[in-house]
């Protein structure tokens, strides 16, 4: 980076990943140097206490520019997005937010000569024509969801900005992310979070995917490790930019339920697949992340057993204290 002091803007900072990423970045770079932003006008008192918060609609370039100038921002983590399931209900909204929001961020990065920008991608870039086992870094990208279409287009656009304008854009293809601080919203992999809350609260869960639907997943600590690891990597070691495959673990709802049952003996699961099943079936089952390993040293720390233990410990403690809020 040209300017050594990090001044960071996080868009989508009230979302599942954005909220924990903001916290992590504040631990690392200091609260005042990490500006949280979201379109929502109702940040929690905790978020407001923790550091600067700005209301930003990523479709309004002017408000992004004003915030960047106000705080002297030089790095952006662009976490706002409409995910796969919501995208299928509102394709026009998904295109608008995901494409025009990303375009605004890239253009502003170019115009204002910012140091670096993170634009996440997703396993949704893949489609049924892609090899589903050990999905390679370079492969067929023919998604069947509008979310996937916008993520493929964003990866290509980001690469264009890297080649054409020498901008430092980075991003990885997130799998389903499992976490216990902020609930996910509108994704196909969201069952893998909901199941834990239902297990702790009611000891049963009705899953919207079939029992044997194997998908790539990752625990939040690994998601944050990957995001920061990629952003801190030496630019000259990177041959890829905005679309690194990253792998954590893969499991089916049946396997996750069996793991939860080891801790909660009375837990039971039933299956009522809905329209998200088709999306899940178009995605890979396991991911080859050797490019991320080689170019910036990526390795995950959590597996199904350690993630399940941790999720249940945290949520059970919260239930005991009366602080478990769910829907």
Annotated catalytic residues are 147
Chain-centroid distance of CA 130 in Å reads 21
Closest CA to 141 of 297, 33, 290, 283: 283
The whole-angstrom separation of Cα 213 and Cα 255 is 10
The position carrying tokens 């999720």 is 311
- 51 or 171: CB nearest ligand AKB: 171
Q: Least separation, in Å, of the C-beta of 142 and ligand AKB?
A: 16
Q: Least separation, in Å, of the C-beta of 110 and ligand AKB?
A: 26
- 19 or 67: CB nearest ligand AKB: 19
Q: Least separation, in Å, of the C-beta of 42 and ligand AKB?
A: 23
Can you give the C-alpha Rg of the chain in angstroms? 19
- 7 or 151: CB nearest ligand AKB: 151
- 64 or 124: CB nearest ligand AKB: 124
Q: Least separation, in Å, of the C-beta of 174 and ligand AKB?
A: 5
Query: What residues have CB less than 8 Å from 197, skipping those under 6 apart?
Result: 315, 324, 326
Torsion of CA 54, 46, 222, 201, to 10 degrees: -130
Burial grade of 48 (CB within 10 A; 0-12, 13-18, 19 or more): exposed
With H, G, I as helix, E, B as strand and everything else as coil, classify residue 174: strand
Closest CA to 173 of 292, 279, 50: 292
Q: Least separation, in Å, of the C-beta of 23 and ligand AKB?
A: 20
Structure tokens at 154: 């964003």
Asked if 42 contacts 48 with a C-beta cutoff of 8 angstroms, the reply is no
For ligand AKB, the nearest residue by Cβ is 187
- 130 or 188: CB nearest ligand AKB: 188
Residues contributing to the site for ligand AKB (CB under 6 A): 83-84, 122-124, 147, 174-176, 187-189
With H, G, I as helix, E, B as strand and everything else as coil, classify residue 80: coil
With H, G, I as helix, E, B as strand and everything else as coil, classify residue 178: strand
Q: Least separation, in Å, of the C-beta of 145 and ligand AKB?
A: 8
- 94 or 231: CB nearest ligand AKB: 94
Query: What residues have CB less than 8 Å from 139, skipping those under 6 apart?
Result: 126, 130, 131
């Amino acid at each position: 980076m040209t300017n050594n002091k990090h001044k960071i803007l996080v868009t989508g900072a009230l979302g599942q990943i954005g909220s924990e990423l903001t916290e992590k970045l504040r631990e690392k770079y200091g609260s005042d140097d990490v500006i949280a932003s979201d379109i929502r006008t109702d940040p929690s008192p905790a978020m407001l206490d923790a550091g600067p918060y700005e209301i930003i609609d990523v479709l309004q370039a002017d408000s992004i520019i004003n915030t960047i100038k106000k705080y002297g921002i030089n790095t952006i983590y662009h976490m706002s997005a409409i995910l796969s399931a919501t995208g299928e209900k509102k394709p026009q909204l998904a295109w608008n937010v995901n494409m025009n929001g990303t375009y605004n961020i890239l253009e502003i990065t170019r115009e204002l000569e910012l140091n670096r920008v993170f634009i996440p991608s997703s396993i949704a870039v893949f489609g049924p024509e892609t090899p589903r086992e050990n999905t390679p870094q370079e492969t067929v990208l023919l998604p069947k969801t509008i979310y996937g279409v916008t993520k493929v287009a964003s990866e290509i656009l980001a690469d264009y900005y890297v080649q054409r304008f020498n901008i430092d854009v980075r991003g990885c293809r997130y799998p389903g992310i499992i976490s216990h601080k902020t609930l996910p919203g509108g994704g196909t992999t969201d069952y893998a979070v909901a199941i834990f809350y239902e297990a702790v609260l009611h000891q049963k869960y009705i899953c919207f995917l079939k029992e044997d639907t194997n998908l790539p997943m990752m625990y939040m600590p690994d998601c944050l490790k990957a995001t920061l690891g990629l952003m801190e990597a030496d630019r000259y070691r990177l041959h890829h930019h905005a679309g690194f495959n990253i792998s954590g673990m893969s499991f089916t709802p049946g396997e996750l339920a069996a793991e939860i049952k080891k801790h909660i003996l009375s837990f039971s699961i039933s299956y009522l697949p809905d329209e998200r099943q088709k999306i899940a079936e178009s995605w890979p089952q396991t991911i080859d992340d050797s490019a991320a390993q080689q170019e910036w040293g990526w390795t995950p720390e959590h597996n199904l057993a350690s993630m399940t233990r941790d999720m249940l410990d945290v949520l059970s403690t919260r239930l005991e204290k009366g602080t478990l809020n769910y829907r």
